[in-house]
Structure 1
Amino acid sequence: MAALAAGCAVKTEPAAPAARPDSAQGIGAPGIEETRKIAQEAYVYAFPMIAGYKAMYQYNIDKSSSQYKAPFNTINNEASVFTYKDTAIVTPNSDTPYSMVMLDLRAEPMVLCVPAVDKKRYYSVQLADMYTHNVGFIGSRATGSAAGCFMVTGPSWKGATPAGIRKVFASETQFMLALYRTQLFDPKDMPNVRKVQAGYKVQALSAFLKQTPPPAAPDIRFPAWRNDALTTGFASYLDFLMQFTPEVPVEKELRARFASIGIGPGKNFDFSQLDEEHKAAVGQGIKDGFAQIDKMSNGVGHNVNGWMVGSAQGNRAFYNGNYVLRAAAAKIGIYGNDAVEATYPVALTDDRGQPLDGSKANYTITFAADRMPPVNSFWSVTMYDGKTQLLIENPINRYLINSPMLRNMKKNADGSVTLYLQHDSPGKVREANWLPAPDGPIYAVMRLYWPKETPPSILPAGSGTWKPPAIVSAARAG
């Protein structure tokens, strides 16, 4: 389970005080209105990176955190699915026990080896960089179910690909998250999942080649996570993170704009030290940036029977400079898959166009026998609290209903299946089909793992031939 790698020692402390935005490295300081616009751009650019840093800090750095998993370059296998107690990221899936490793690629590449996995069991390894771009995938869909080893390289790597490596994934950033999803058929299946997880191996390239490792990368002073990280403190975190995200040509002009107000790798931007005029400008830029992200997050894709169906996650080419979409993807659910790996319809309204609220109504979703979600693997519907987008505590410890559960569910006379989305039990006869809802706003997500690409299909996301059924409301009793 432990990885063999040149790890980085960790020191944590608050970010250092920073300077006000002014003339930097010969770049003229912009006016107040231009400062506001640049702050807005920088906030949108930084939002997913900082959201990712929160997970990284809690999972891999802060050992006092209740969310702590493992140090860098060490794989952590979850022996259960996520529950309401998991709060580091929003909209976590509860379908597939996670394994994860935060790769430190500064000293040398890392090698990920996977075992042969039964073709009936879906698994995937998602590789996401510090921008939250999906760099690539390993697994059932992307590389098949056979065993193999794959190499992940950092931005400065220039070496050759050694024998025994099936594919190389090149990261633009010096840290990368490898997020593993292993399908769980039912609670009794967990020992089989553990056997698969035990076959996931992570090691440094030097260990893979049985060679002497290179010198370890320098220690890093990681800034502690603060409550202002996604508000007035965002620029200081961006300063820190940009040290590990070397400039790429397409972003040269953008980063020069950030530098003109004092934001850049290794700089020390401190909002509290600004004069009142600049505080107002930067503060307004932050508000404007968040408003852009919020608007985009509510409008990704197309409304199909009350579900928003679209695609918000991908690689750099997918975003093509659309930083608002990239930030919205992190707000909707950070580290989501590409649509071809998994598509995520999000429930917005009921059949009357009203917002979903478990305190006001009970709901049903009925899947016709011949119109089940079209997937090569499996599908699910997961319930979240509409205010936090986190899983909710409930009396039966059920956070989702998925296709493997169908065999134990009550079917209608015509072979269709009705799910009951409500706060209180629909009664013992229907309880197998009950997905407990919060006593308030609802955020429900459908997941289609490895969706079929031939009709009927949900792809292209938002305009496919298969459409999720409407959520039908009924007055809540009492």
Structure 2
Amino acid sequence: MSVRVNLKSKLFISGTLIMACVGLNAFKEFSVSDQEIARRKEIITKAYNFGFPLVLMEYSKKAMLTKTETKTNQFDHLSTFPDWKFRDVVRPNLDTFYSHAWLDLSNGPVVVTVPSTKRYYLIPALDAYTNVFSSVGTRTTGTKAQKFVYTGPNWSGKLPKGVKEIKCPTNMVWLLGRIEVQNQEDGETIVADIQDEIYIKPLKCNRKITYRSNSFSSEKYTAKEPPIDYVKQLSIEEFFTKMSYLMKLYPPAAADSVLIEELKEIDFEIGDGFSLGMFSDEEKEIYSNIPEEVQAQWDENLYGEQTKPWNLYIKDIGNYGINYEHRAYISAIGLGANLPEDAVYPMTTVDKNLEDLNGENNYVIHFSKNEIPSVNGFWSLTCYNNNDFLVHNELDRYAIGDRCHLKFNKDGSLDIYLQANKPSNYKSINWLPIPSDATFSLVLRMYWPKKEVFATDYKLPCVKKINSSNKVII
């Protein structure tokens, strides 16, 4: 026979023994050692990183469904590009139209139908913890018309012929489909028709369920702040309580068993909520600061000193295993990231001299003919302000890439100009507006990158500061 003694019981027993020692003149003030505090802080920090994507996914789902009045197991086809008012997720892309759906597989499988199309597309599936476990699309499943059945982790049964089963780790799944768009007109006349042929229905139902959203307009969003900000503001008790209930709905993977055992050391039980009540005031203060400390580390990773011209995120993206810290960081800076095979996201906040990019200056990126982004799909360069959202500008131009009518140099090279004010002459064709008098970041999206992008010696041209005559400043 064995008896489980939890943290509360240990504290009670320890206190009882100490009080008993008073009669023996051996009383010593009960205290937790620095080593024990450090151990608990380590566990809570690890757990916060583990749970952040899970809680963020839940609030993102609620925000998106509320905003669009869409239901689960129903596609929301977004038929326009986001603009500077868009606040649902940080660092949105302007290369594709989204067709996304939040699946609830607790009542059984659903069938997703995709049409035949020559247009590049992908529909990655993220579990409740933001791991991409499947990616339907041009690269993986081809461009023929197909049907895919998404089944929950505990479902078993017989499937009809002609469908492909995709087994899901959790009953909550986010399908974040993207279809290549040349421009807004192309999207409205061609891509929207493709979207209409992408739909969901329950496995044993012939009724087609679709929904189209006409705008990214933030006016329909009823929450007071974006989901990312809301989750960041949760106290450690609020956060862990929400996390505990979500872990019951969406059980962790077997690989997470070590963390689950460690959580017992802080008296965290799945589905039971969480309280700091059993800890001393000193410990409460220490543990309450953990969210702020973790988020500060994310900011340091993103906005801290950059030691090279570009950060190439080509490893451990999309599926993270037990690298909870990295998974949390990626969800915080770009929820819904693809697998590297589908897209890579080189990012920079500095120029050639590793100085912060700032709208007080003008810049250029010079791609030699051999440095044009190497992709099977397409590429784009997007500017974000210091809050990771799009930059308001007179042209409503937020990204630039190979689907724009760029002007190449005679030798096949390409110059992209980055400045707050419109350049003179033809250079405005290759102009990407940046914020004035403020820092900013750049993301180069490369869809279906070629194998050379994954080589250890792959490099991108630096962002270089230029003067009013467009001459590079050394």
Secondary structure at the aligned position of 2:91 is classed as: coil
Partner of residue 307, structure 1: 310
Amino acid at match of 2:387: T
Of 453, 458, 461 in structure 2, the residue corresponding to residue 458 of structure 1 is 453
Amino acid at match of 1:138: V
Secondary structure at the aligned position of 1:97 is classed as: strand
Distance 2:422 2:144 in 1: 43
1:254-274 CA distance string (max 9 Å, x none): 112223324343222245896
Q: Does 1:87 align with 2:87?
A: yes
Partner of residue 470, structure 1: 462
Partner of residue 110, structure 1: 110
User: 8 Å contact 2:375–2:449 — kept in the other structure?
Assistant: yes
User: 8 Å contact 1:50–1:238 — kept in the other structure?
Assistant: yes
User: 8 Å contact 1:373–1:379 — kept in the other structure?
Assistant: yes
Closer, same or farther: CA 177–27 of 1 in aligned 2, 3 Å: farther
CA shift, 1:113, in A, is 1.0
RMSD over aligned CA atoms reads 3.0
Of 148, 153, 160 in structure 1, the residue corresponding to residue 151 of structure 2 is 153
Kindly indicate whether structure 1 or structure 2 has the higher relative contact order, using CA contacts under 8 Å at least 6 residues apart: 1
Distance 1:272 1:399 in 2: 48
Closer, same or farther: CA 282–144 of 1 in aligned 2, 3 Å: same
CA shift, 1:309, in A, is 0.7
Closer, same or farther: CA 298–244 of 1 in aligned 2, 3 Å: farther
User: 8 Å contact 1:362–1:422 — kept in the other structure?
Assistant: yes
User: 8 Å contact 1:297–1:328 — kept in the other structure?
Assistant: no
Partner of residue 199, structure 1: 197
Q: Does 1:403 align with 2:398?
A: no
Q: Does 1:180 align with 2:177?
A: yes
Fraction of identical pairs, as percent: 28
Distance 1:335 1:28 in 2: 47
CA shift, 1:174, in A, is 1.6
Partner of residue 17, structure 1: none
1:230-266 CA distance string (max 9 Å, x none): 5433212212221222143222231122233243432
Closer, same or farther: CA 80–148 of 1 in aligned 2, 3 Å: same
User: 8 Å contact 2:371–2:461 — kept in the other structure?
Assistant: no
Closer, same or farther: CA 292–227 of 1 in aligned 2, 3 Å: closer
Partner of residue 246, structure 1: 251
Q: Which runs of 5+ in 2 are unaligned?
A: 1-5, 15-31, 209-224, 470-474
Partner of residue 326, structure 2: 325
Equivalent residue runs for 1:254-269 within 5 Å: 254-269=259-274
Partner of residue 364, structure 2: 364
Secondary structure at the aligned position of 1:207 is classed as: coil
User: 8 Å contact 1:422–1:435 — kept in the other structure?
Assistant: yes
Amino acid at match of 1:346: M
1:21-76 CA distance string (max 9 Å, x none): 9438999999433322221111111122222223112102xx3xxx4362211101
Equivalent residue runs for 1:266-285 within 5 Å: 266-270=271-275, 276-285=281-290
Distance 1:53 1:400 in 2: 29
Partner of residue 20, structure 2: none
Q: Does 1:23 align with 2:8?
A: yes
Closer, same or farther: CA 282–99 of 1 in aligned 2, 3 Å: same
Amino acid at match of 1:368: S
Partner of residue 212, structure 2: none
Closer, same or farther: CA 96–159 of 1 in aligned 2, 3 Å: same
Count of equivalent residues = 422
Partner of residue 38, structure 2: 33
Distance 2:12 2:64 in 1: 38
1:175-205 CA distance string (max 9 Å, x none): 0100110111122212100011001011111
Q: Does 1:421 align with 2:418?
A: yes
Q: Does 1:289 align with 2:274?
A: no
CA shift, 1:228, in A, is 5.5
User: 8 Å contact 2:8–2:278 — kept in the other structure?
Assistant: no
Partner of residue 17, structure 2: none
User: 8 Å contact 2:100–2:175 — kept in the other structure?
Assistant: yes
Deviates more, 1:391-400 or 1:249-258: 249-258
Distance 1:294 1:101 in 2: 30
Amino acid at match of 2:432: L
Amino acid at match of 1:377: G
Q: Which runs of 5+ in 1 are unaligned?
A: 1-20, 211-223
1:201-228 CA distance string (max 9 Å, x none): 1111121599xxxxxxxxxxxxx97566
TM-score normalised to structure 2 length: 0.81
Distance 2:153 2:9 in 1: 26
Amino acid at match of 1:137: S
Deviates more, 1:277-286 or 1:183-192: 277-286
Distance 1:364 1:132 in 2: 35
Secondary structure at the aligned position of 2:141 is classed as: coil
CA shift, 1:446, in A, is 0.2
1:412-460 CA distance string (max 9 Å, x none): 232322111111111243211110101211111001100112xxx2114
Equivalent residue runs for 1:64-143 within 5 Å: 67-68=67-68, 70-118=70-118, 121-143=119-141
Closer, same or farther: CA 284–33 of 1 in aligned 2, 3 Å: farther
Closer, same or farther: CA 27–376 of 1 in aligned 2, 3 Å: farther
Amino acid at match of 1:470: C
Amino acid at match of 1:80: T
Secondary structure at the aligned position of 1:152 is classed as: strand
CA shift, 1:362, in A, is 0.7
User: 8 Å contact 2:248–2:271 — kept in the other structure?
Assistant: yes
CA shift, 1:324, in A, is 1.0
Partner of residue 428, structure 2: 431
Amino acid at match of 2:324: Y
Partner of residue 161, structure 2: 163
Partner of residue 47, structure 2: 42
Amino acid at match of 1:339: P
TM-score normalised to structure 1 length: 0.81
Deviates more, 1:130-139 or 1:155-164: 155-164
